[in-house]
Amino acid sequence: MLLKDKLAAQIPGLREDISSFVKAHGDHEISKVTIAQAYGGMRGVRAMVCDTSEVPPDKGLLVREIPIGDLAENLPEEIFFLLCTGDMPNKEELADLQKEYSARCEVPEYVWKVLEAMPKDSHPMCMFDTAILCMEKESKFRAAYDKGMKKTEYWEPMLEDSLDLLAKLPGIAAGVYRMRFGKGPRIAPKKDLDWGANFAHMMGLEDPKGTLADLMRLYLTLHCDHEGGNVSAHATHCIASALSDAYYAVSGGLNGLAGPLHGLANQECLGWVLQVHEKFGGVPSDDDLKQFAWDTLNSGKVIPGYGHAVLRVTDPRFTGFLQFGKKHMADDPIFAIVNKVYDIVPGVLKEHGKAKNPWPNVDAGSGALLYHYGLKEFSYYTVLFAISRAMGMCSQMIVSRAMGYSLERPKSLPTKVLKAQAGA
């Protein structure tokens, strides 16, 4: 496999580089931690390493130093190769990776039985995460670890597990969609389609303009990774640092993605936009929208899709979706509201004065595009996010195993001790 060959060629040099860097500069201080940060979700504390991507507050996502906006036309498979290696695949490497995905895409039959046994009103994210977890017995990492393996080899079965998992995620996600929302039997994958197009095919949505696969590719590319400290990436990394395998770690991380302050915001954003549409019978005036935003804030709720823990500018991923919408559905009233919200809400949030970032994040616009294509089941939206984000999780774990990073174990302190330290 060409991806494996490339990693095998890179890893010894990278390991040597990091090891001598830590030896020479290990005592260099990179962060101080205040009591407010300890109670405030460790916001801004620099205590992790992530080489796959970075989110400078004034730029947004860089995948291996490339702005995500410049990658919007690339296939998600190319992005995974880039995340893992730091380089775009050439034609041969891409074809080879796609061949690996095709060979590994069959979902074991027992997964469907487990999902069928779940309560009919289970959340699609719970079904998706359960499907991943119940495949844990397939882990090649666990099998190799149980047999005995050198630490320097850990990354190899982690890569195998990651590819097995990524190859199956579109099929699992499409199967969850069809089962959970009564859309009829599952649709078999077409082995000659790329990852995103195959997912679009297996969902079985109407696609009269033939552009759904483009949206899915864009969606899967834009959500790929967001450095190491966000809830799902951090949870995945923490779990995997105990040498839990990819099935345990990705399922665990995605349980974090399912939270309303993280990936679930995705489903809530469109809900808010549709409320606007319903209340005003279409696209509201600027003043009406402003008032609606204030009513939301005054009732103690957040405006979903706006604000970010790290970003301080418009999320370039939002811009990517906005451009797609302008090209393919400029006349759609729901999309027109998303556009108008972007004009109005940042000003309202600035006046409100609480949110550190009044600008839209990735979730502010994507739902309107899915809705346009007939994907109207909001609770499913986070699953789409999850398929994509699994690429970031897996690439981060492969790099961590390759570099031999340590078990994660920060120190916690009781309030009493903190008070004593602060002389309170």
Residues with a catalytic annotation lie at 262, 308, 363
SS3 content of the chain, % helix, strand, coil (to 5): 60, 0, 35
Q: Which is nearer to ligand CMX, 137 or 356 (CB)?
A: 356
* Phi/psi at 67 (5° precision): -60, 135
Helices (H), 35-154: 35-39, 76-85, 91-103, 109-117, 124-134, 140-147
The tokens describing 30, both together, are 């990179």
d(C-alpha 18, C-alpha 3), whole Å: 21
Residue with Cβ nearer ligand CMX (162 or 296): 296
Two tokens, residue 207 = 């696609």
Q: How many CB atoms lie within 10 A of CB 95?
A: 13
**Strand, coil or helix: 130:** helix
Dihedral sign of CA atoms 345, 351, 355, 358 in order? positive
CB of 261 to ligand CMX, least distance (A): 4
Copy the structure tokens of residue 225.
Answer: 């990774």
Read off the tokens for 310. Answer: 């790290």
Query: Could you give phi then psi for residue 66, rounded to 5 degrees?
Result: -100, 125
Q: Which residue is it, tokens 């994507």?
A: 366
3-state secondary structure of 313: coil
Tell me the C-alpha distance between 50 and 46, whole Å: 11
Task: Please tell me the number of Cα atoms within 13 Å of 382 on its side-chain side.
Answer: 26
| Chain residues that interact with ligand CMX, rule: CB under 6 A | 230, 261-263, 265, 297, 302-309, 354-357, 361-363
* Separation in Å, CA 398 to CA 112, 134, 159, 222, 412: 28, 21, 6, 20, 28
Question: CA 422, CA 346: separation in Å to the nearest integer?
Answer: 38
Single-letter amino acid code for the residue at 78: E
User: Smallest distance, Å, CB 196 to ligand CMX?
Assistant: 20
Which one, 202 or 383, has the nearer CB to ligand CMX?
383
CB of 300 to ligand CMX, least distance (A): 9
Q: Which is nearer to ligand CMX, 298 or 406 (CB)?
A: 298
Alpha-carbon distances, residue 293 vs 33, 49, 341 (angstroms)? 35, 38, 9
Residue 264 CB, shortest distance to ligand CMX, in Å, is 8
For residue 264, give both structure tokens. 């679930």
**Closest CB 263 distance from ligand CMX, rounded Å:** 5
Q: CA–CA separation, 288 vs 381, rounded Å?
A: 28
| Residue among 221 and 230 whose Cβ is closer to ligand CMX | 230
Residue with smaller CB distance to ligand CMX, 137 or 301: 301
User: Least distance to ligand CMX from the beta carbon of 68, Å?
Assistant: 14
- For the CB of residue 401, give the shortest distance to ligand CMX in the complex, in Å: 25
Question: Closest distance between ligand CMX and the C-beta of residue 313, in Å?
Answer: 13
Q: Which is nearer to ligand CMX, 73 or 343 (CB)?
A: 343
Residue 350 vs 356, nearer CB to ligand CMX: 356
Instruction: Point out which residues pair with 306 in neighbouring strands.
Output: 360
> Which residue of this chain has its Cβ atom nearest to ligand CMX in the complex?
307
Q: What tokens does 266 get? A: 């995705």
